[in-house]
Amino acid sequence: MTVSLEDVHRRIERQKTDLPVMYGDVDFSIVPERYTDDLSVSSMKDYMTKFPAPPADMVARVKAYTMLGDITSDAYAALMPEYGFKRLVDMLTIACDEGIEAVPDAPPELAALIAEMEVKPDWLDMDLVREGARLNRLPMAETSPWMIRGAFLATFLNKYTALPMALTGTLSHSTASRRVNETATFFTVTTLPGALEPRGEGFKAAAMVRLMHSMVRFNVLRRVKGWDQSVYGIPIPQVDQMPAGLIDVFLLAYKMEAEGRTEFTPEERARVEFSRYRCYLLGLPEDLLMDTPQGIIDIMNARSGSIRAGFDDETCGALVRATLSTYLPPDKSLGNRVHNALERRLARLVLVRHFLGGNSQMARDIGVPVGPLDYAVAAVLFPMISIKMAIYQTALKVPGLRGLVDRHLVAKLRRLLVRYGHAEFTTDASAYRLAKPVPAE
């Protein structure tokens, strides 16, 4: 979908008039300190030389969207003083499960959110999305349980993007565990059959994530005196949704570029469309959802290169340590204790290999030292995971086995969801009153 930059800027500025309770005091003409167009001080300064500079239009869009929240979901979250956050969550749950008509006296802001999510974009092919979900069930069942913590750690490497998490109380071990498991729940549930259809479990999870992010924006902008908009901009802007939502297709596109390929295979196309539609349900603007390998690489690098480098131990280090040391399984059975200990060691390597460019010294500097035992665990577990993946992939290609194996994977995903626990996807405003703002440097 092509949207002019002028329209993008108008949409951003309209937040001030459409939702003054949240954005009335925001100066959308400023460029926050978190944004930079100088690659020598960006968070990607050590990696951008590997890629050509993204197109100027993409860079300009990322710069603009740095100041965009989620106006539809934000408007619903702004009803918290009137309804309370629990009632907002309950009404959204009913609307997703049974339809907006099932919510007595549903506020128009809720109806608008559901209606927006039910709009099908012109490019959408739900058959491709369903196939992409099926293809993603295997990695979610076999790989993600070992990788999710390491990927989550990567979200805390920059103080400009990590601060909202610190302000919502995620520094505690119990909260860190809940956030990791909620993230695992979201990405797992979206791969289930029919999950992204209206009334589907993934559709509801996306709506809940949108509301959670809007609650953070509402509480930070209204309650946290230490939030400096000239430094941090808008809490959790839309561009900050991109890494989690598109990392899988970015790595795919990067691999294709290394192989000299420019066209997706049918299976790769299905995976891409699945990820794009999931991001669409999360509220990402369509003009950030590229559909070619080079476009995906360019837009992701434009976003990563736009964020000024900055790591402070009080925010980033504390979040990393809390997440790395937290206990994720639901109980302390022997099997769960062993799994947690092994998975925590793999998390260190996932962070170093995939998000720190293999720089183990950088990992030590941020409090994630990688030692011989971590490599020994990985030397055993990674081949085992790869072998299981290969066996499943082979079975999924056999016509007589494909349906049986897929049902087995769905059942395994259901068991994982029980393990991750019930995801509330909420943020309690009371947590913000005790938050200690991190001063800008």
Instruction: Flag whether 3 is in a domain.
Output: no
Instruction: Flag whether 425 is in a domain.
Output: no
Instruction: Flag whether 435 is in a domain.
Output: no
CA distances to 1, 124, 282 from 286, rounded to whole Å, are 6, 11, 11
Q: Which domain holds residue 313?
A: 8-419
Instruction: Flag whether 261 is in a domain.
Output: yes
Give the closest residue to 8 by CA, choosing from 71, 77, 53: 71
pLDDT score at 356? 81
Instruction: Flag whether 430 is in a domain.
Output: no
Long-range contacts of 370-376 (CB under 8 A, 24+ apart): 373/345, 374/345, 374/346, 374/348, 374/349, 375/349
Instruction: Flag whether 337 is in a domain.
Output: yes
What is the distance of C-alpha 203 from the center of its chain?
15
pLDDT tens sequence across 175-211: 888 889 999 999 999 999 999 999 999 999 999 999 9
Residues 375-391 as b/e (b if ≥16 CB within 10 A, e otherwise) read: eebbeebeeebeeeeee
Structure tokens at 300: 């992701």
pLDDT score at 435? 39
Give the CA-trace dihedral at 298, 300, 302, 303, to 10 degrees.
170
pLDDT score at 332? 94
Contact 176, 322 (CB under 8 A): yes
Please state the φ and ψ torsions of residue 428, each to the nearest 5 degrees: -85, 125
pLDDT score at 340? 95
Would you tell me how many other CB atoms lie within 10 Å of the CB of residue 204?
21
DSSP class of residue 199 equals T
Instruction: Flag whether 258 is in a domain.
Output: yes
Q: Give residues with Cβ within 8 angstroms of 133, minimum separation 6.
A: 190, 191, 192, 193, 195, 196, 274
Q: Residues 162, 165, 170, CA angle at the centre, nearest 5°?
A: 130
Q: How many domains does the chain have?
A: 1
β partners of residue 438: none
Instruction: Flag whether 439 is in a domain.
Output: no
pLDDT score at 422? 75
Find the largest Cα–Cα distance for the chain: 62
Question: pLDDT of the chain along its 441 residues, tens only?
Answer: 578 999 999 999 999 999 999 999 899 999 999 999 888 898 877 665 667 788 999 999 999 999 999 999 999 999 999 999 899 999 999 999 999 999 999 999 999 999 999 999 999 999 999 999 999 999 999 999 999 998 888 888 899 988 887 776 655 666 888 889 999 999 999 999 999 999 999 999 999 999 999 999 998 988 777 688 999 999 999 899 898 899 899 999 999 998 999 999 999 999 999 999 999 999 999 999 999 999 999 999 999 899 999 988 888 888 888 898 899 999 999 999 999 999 999 999 988 887 787 888 888 888 888 999 999 999 999 999 999 999 999 999 998 899 999 999 999 999 999 999 876 665 555 554 433 433 333
pLDDT score at 270? 97
pLDDT score at 346? 93
